[in-house]
Amino acid sequence: MALIEIVTWPTPVLLAPARPVENIDGAFVKLVEDMRETMYAAPGLGLAAVQVGVDRRFFVYDVSEDKERPEFKVLVNPQITAREGTVISENEGCLSVPECRADVTRSARVTVEGADLDGKPVRLDAEDLLALVMQHEIDHLDGKLFLDHLSTLKREFIKRKLKKRIRGL
**105 torsion bin: left (phi>0), alpha (psi -120 to 50), beta (else):** beta
33 is catalytic: no
Return phi, psi of residue 34, to 5°. Answer: -65, -40
Question: Contact at 8 Å (CB) between 69 and 57?
Answer: no
- Measured distance CA(169)–CA(161) in Å, rounded: 9
Position 72, amino acid: F
Give the active site residue among 5, 37, 137, 156.
137
Both ends of the chain: CA-CA distance in Å?
Answer: 35
- Known catalytic residues are 137
